[in-house]
Amino acid sequence: MSKNPDKNQLAKDLNEDILELENKIAAFKKGTMQEERFRHYRLTRGVYGQRQLGVHMFRTKIPFGLLTADQLIRLADVSEKYTNGNLHLTTRQNIQMHYVKLDDATAIWKELGEVGVTAREACGNTVRNITASANAGIDPDEPFDVSPYVYETFRYFLRNPICQDMGRKIKIAFSSSDKDSAYTYFHDFGFVPRIKVENGKEIRGFKLVVGGGLGAQSIIAQTAYEFLPEDQIIPFMEAAIRVFDRYGEREKRFKARMKFLVKELGLDGFLKLVEEEKTAIAQDSVKVNREIITAVPPVAEVDRPEIKIEDAAAYNLWLTTNVFEQKQKGFYAVQIRLPLGDIMAERARLFAEVARKYAADDIRITVNQGFVLRYVRKNDLTHLYQALNDLDLAKPGFNSMANITACPGTDTCNLGVTNSTGLATVLEEVITAEYPQLIEESALDIKISGCMNACGQHMAANIGFHGSSIKKKPLVVPAMQIVIGGGVDPDGTPQIADKVIKIPTKKIPDALRTILNDYDEVSENNEYFNHYYRRQGKAYFYSLLKPLADIEQLTKEEFFDWGDDANYVQAIGVGECAGVAYDVVGTIVKDAEEKVELAEAALTEGLFADSIYHSYTALVIGAKALLLAKDVKCNTQIGILRDFDEHYIDTQEFPLTGSFKALALRVKKSTPSAAFAKEYATISADFFRQVLAVRSTQLVAAEGKDKNIIDRYYKA
């Protein structure tokens, strides 16, 4: 794929990001920037706290997992230079590096930025990496290639003011067909391509689903539109994110995702608010440049010497499970199975060179933590297989039960409860040794998460596990919650797995054997696993597995987690995005001042829509500061607007004529013109000056002592 954005703009943005990162790190180290504030900042720059003290996880943001060979080589070089040398591929088509020192973050940014890889908004309460079917562009079932739409969406929301200070993250996915290989149904926004014909002309659009999500309370997204024209998808998302920003919960983190807002308002109520926001959108139609992502040509046809594959059976199994013919006849896609999604730097470099030699310069990271190569010529398949096999990258069974998805769990994650990677390795061995026939079965999968938060997507698996524990005084037993029946049915119907039973993690291999043996004995006529599960029912599986849940006669080793040789000790940290911190009202006032300055800067640059949103945010934050001074909780922006009227305007403690709510909500009733942007920036600046005056009076009454507050009360 070739990308054709404005390179000068990219360079300018990169340089500004790097300079800002350098300054923020310096301020934090000098003690002039509070730790909690720096944490919020570095998260949106891809730097996330790790389980091990003093080091960080560094996450890149790679739209739909697209990498060139040069980019992969640079990532490998950086990981070897600044980390432990391992690249970890995630279920969100990203690459993570671990054991990063904070002082090295700027250098990593620079070196990755030189090859067009960013970490901007890879973590934090932002629009996260946008995922898509890894086979987009070559999928025989696709109506059209969704890749350009993903990339344009990525560019549109990167650094966009509307999604820099949200209560929680937003996740977006594009599937290439109705088979929903990108799992759109558990995303905040999910898109499936559609074509309809009007007056003999093909019109592109998308089925749009909203409000899905995994985690402790998994919810299947609801269909907002069966067909939304292609030029409307970005305006819709912007309007919806504005609604989420204003109405979304912020204090109760477990209720702060869009799925809960859609559920609370009802789909019709949510869509009504989205429609009301459209006046404020700068562009009511965003036409996607279909050529911004164009197909990279295959490698030139070369006469290669014939080679003899020593293990013909292994090669044929690889062809069956890892290779398929693209919609471009005569060319083949090759899928690379990568256990645990890990690849060390040297092997990554060698793999990149193999890809460059035999495939188009278009490497895709898959949602099951592997790679896809494309435009491989049929005559090159044997040579490619041999080269991959030499790197131990020709494991058969891509997307099979042996291709287990697992998050890092307790290896590096603060939130990990039990070890997911050790279990994944053991279960892969069980499948390979005892159920080799399942290596050819692509309609059955296993996914593992180290906790209930579902980074391993366990609720979207036929058979899933998430980290847990069981008390057996005076000890604690490491355990796994077993979930069954998730994923996408063959007809495209989405399913969320049922929680069935919790058992000690060392008994999970036997639990898997029990399920698979029963499936073999009881299923009917090649019955799809989820159909078998639903026919038998949850209670049936609870009874089937209950003997393994007995903790009365545990062996010594069953008190150990996978990879450990000592009794399990639960050590769950606080997630970086959910920690409690303390602050003062004065700091919140400074936040409002920063937004006023950003509004003025955007106005000067002619970015009127950006200026308007910064002005709106300044109004909200200024009002929030004064409400916090009165111990009024601020858990939604819309609540702040109402409460400020009640506590300051109605009581005449603030010099404003008329309703503050009405004043602030002009943001959604006015088109983003130069005139309104200028007027609104003036209103915001004047309001901020009045906030300073009122706060000054309050401080005099408090004898100059600022007020401490808990940040969970002021996330809005």
What one-character-per-residue DSSP string does 645-710 give? IIIIITTT-S--SS-HHHHHGGGGTS---HHHHHHHHHHHHHHHHHHHHHHHHHHHHTTTPPPEEE
How far does CA 638 lie from the centroid of its chain?
A: 26
Model confidence at 602, in pLDDT bands (50, 70, 90)?
Answer: very high
pLDDT tens digit sequence for 456-468: 999 999 999 999 9
170 backbone dihedrals φ, ψ, rounded to 5°: -125, 135
Task: Tell me the average pLDDT across 509-529.
Answer: 96
| pLDDT of 507 over the 80 cut | yes
What does the pLDDT read at residue 710?
A: 58
What does the pLDDT read at residue 5?
A: 54
CA distance 55 to 262: 37
Task: Tell me the average pLDDT across 60-68.
Answer: 97
| pLDDT of 574 over the 60 cut | no
What does the pLDDT read at residue 384?
A: 98
Please give the full DSSP string across 232-287, using - where no structure is assigned: GHHHHHHHHHHHHHHHS--SSGGG-SHHHHHHHH-HHHHHHHHHHHGGG-S-S---
| pLDDT of 90 over the 70 cut | yes
Alpha helices of 537-673 — where are they, by DSSP H? 538-545, 585-604, 608-629, 637-644, 660-664
DSSP letter at 118?
B
| pLDDT of 683 over the 60 cut | yes
Q: How far from each other are the two terminal CA atoms of the chain, in whole angstroms? A: 40
Average pLDDT score, the chain: 93
Beta bridge partners of 494: 488
Model confidence at 578, in pLDDT bands (50, 70, 90)?
Answer: very low
Dihedral (Cα; 531, 534, 539, 542), 10-degree rounding: 40
Of 456, 450, 463, the closest CA to residue 419 belongs to: 450
| pLDDT of 577 over the 60 cut | no
Q: 540 vs 503, 532, 534, 596, CA distance in Å?
A: 16, 11, 10, 61
What does the pLDDT read at residue 595?
A: 97
The token pair that represents 26 in the structure block: 């310096």
| pLDDT of 581 over the 70 cut | no
Please give the full DSSP string across 384-448, using - where no structure is assigned: HHHHHHHTT---S-TTSTTS-EE--GGGT-TT--S-HHHHHHHHHHHHHHH-GGGGG--S--EEE
What does the pLDDT read at residue 231?
A: 97
Alpha helices of 123-252 — where are they, by DSSP H? 147-157, 233-247
Contact in structure between 194 and 142 (CB atoms under 8 Å) = no
Count of alpha carbons within 13 angstroms of residue 430, beta-carbon side = 20
CA distance 646 to 394: 66
Task: Look up the pTM and report it.
Answer: 0.94
Q: 503 vs 407, 425, 451, CA distance in Å?
A: 20, 18, 14
Task: Tell me the average pLDDT across 198-215.
Answer: 95
Strand blocks (E) in 69-221 = 86-89, 95-100, 131-132, 172-174, 189-198, 201-210
Task: Tell me the average pLDDT across 411-440.
Answer: 94
CA distance 283 to 239: 11
User: To 5 degrees, how large is the angle CA 690–CA 613–CA 267?
Assistant: 120
**Which amino acid appears at position 299 of this protein?**
V
DSSP letter at 579?
-
Tell me the domains of the chain and their CATH numbers: 1-63+89-129 (no CATH), 138-294 (3.30.413.10), 308-390 (3.30.70.3340), 405-559 (3.30.413.10), 582-713 (1.20.120.330)
pLDDT tens digit sequence for 357-378: 999 999 999 999 999 999 999 9
Beta bridge partners of 331: 377
User: 10 Å Cβ neighbour count for 330?
Assistant: 10
Model confidence at 712, in pLDDT bands (50, 70, 90)?
Answer: very low
How far does CA 410 lie from the centroid of its chain?
A: 19
Contact in structure between 576 and 412 (CB atoms under 8 Å) = no
What does the pLDDT read at residue 228?
A: 98
Contact in structure between 189 and 240 (CB atoms under 8 Å) = yes
Per-residue H/E/C for 453-518:
CCCCCHHHCCEEEEEEEEEECCEEEEEEEEEECCEECCCCCEECCEEEEEEEHHHHHHHHHHHHHH
| pLDDT of 1 over the 90 cut | no
pLDDT tens digit sequence for 112-152: 999 999 999 999 999 999 999 999 999 999 999 999 999 99
Positive or negative: CA dihedral 698, 701, 704, 709: negative
What does the pLDDT read at residue 575?
A: 58
- Tell me which residue has tokens 């003899």: 308
CA distance 385 to 311: 11
| pLDDT of 539 over the 50 cut | yes
483 backbone dihedrals φ, ψ, rounded to 5°: -125, 145
What does the pLDDT read at residue 294?
A: 84
pLDDT tens digit sequence for 270-327: 999 999 999 999 999 999 999 999 888 899 999 999 899 999 999 999 999 999 999 9
Contact in structure between 430 and 513 (CB atoms under 8 Å) = yes
* Polymer length in residues for the chain: 716
| pLDDT of 187 over the 70 cut | yes
| pLDDT of 477 over the 90 cut | yes
Secondary structure class of 220 (helix, strand, coil) = coil
